Amino acid sequence: MVIVETKRDRRAERRESTTSEILTAAWELAGTQGLAGLSLRELAQKIGMRPPSLYWYFDSKNAIYDAMFLQGNRQLLARMAEVDWPSDAKGILRVCARSFVEFCVEDSRRFQLLFQRTIPGFEPSPEAYAVAVEVVEQMRARLAAAGLHDPAAFDMLTALVSGIAAQQIANEPGGDRWVRLIDEMIDLCADHFISKEANREKA
């Protein structure tokens, strides 16, 4: 039996660790200065580097935004994957809405980057965008699992949950004035859309 040892690439490990350190610092700075106000000078200073050194890890400032965008979407995918999904339709919708809003209000800058997209010159790369699309597809699949196949129902629910998240973040960060309304609204929508689907199936 031949054992092929996968040699640890310490260089790659180190590089990855520094890269992630930069991203962590970037998220923190975005929290204090505003996402759009992120500056490479401050970012470098925060981690004890000189600004040009950042370019060894990222091609440009937008590449940093891109990595953050990718990271945020992956976090959301991970979050959705670790959820304990109920089997009844209404339960699925509730859990889906709750996890999504929770994820959003946890970090307002991440919400801004992923879902508001108000950074001046930033457009996600195809690679990062693909992950964002995957997020949407996963959501759509969850709703389908709850019996909702109507695209309009999906659109309506995304507007609802992102609206709740946005209001909570903008008007009462850290609170639950809007978050606590989720269940009531989701139940209302669930009843409505599920009975609509049932009627359509009959026809």
Q: By the criterion CB under 7 A, which residues form the site for DNA?
A: 11, 14-15, 18, 38-42, 44, 48-53, 55-57, 59-62
Using CB distances below 5 to 8 A depending on partner kind, what does residue 52 bind out of a second copy, DNA, none?
Answer: DNA
To a second copy, the closest distance from the beta carbon of 155 in angstroms equals: 6
Integer angstrom CA distances of residue 149 from 77, 142, 159? 21, 10, 16
CB of 41 to DNA, least distance (A): 4
List the x/- string, 166-195, binding to a second copy by CB under 8 A.
xx--x------xx--x--xx--xx--x---
Q: Does 143 bind a second copy (CB under 8 A)?
A: no
- Interaction partner, residue 11 (DNA, a second copy, none; CB < 5-8 Å by kind): DNA
- Cα–Cα distance list, 16 to 9, 20, 75 (Å): 11, 6, 17
Tell me the two tokens of residue 98: 């709750």
Cβ–Cβ under 8 Å, residues 136 and 115: no
- Which residues from 28-87 bind a second copy, rule CB under 8 A? 33-37
Written as six digits, the tokens of 11 are 């260089």
Q: How far is the CB of 113 from DNA (least distance, A)?
A: 15
Q: Do 23 and 128 touch, CB atoms closer than 8 A? A: no
Q: In one letter, which amino acid is 55?
A: Y
Nearer Cβ to DNA (56/175): 56
Give whichever of 62 and 162 is closer to DNA, judged by the CB atom.
Answer: 62
Of 199, 79, 93, the C-alpha closest to 145 is 93
Which is closer to DNA, CB of 48 or CB of 174? 48
Query: How far apart are the C-alpha atoms of 152 and 95, rounded to whole Å?
Result: 20
CA within 13 Å, CB half, 82: 6
- CB 145 to a second copy: min, Å: 22
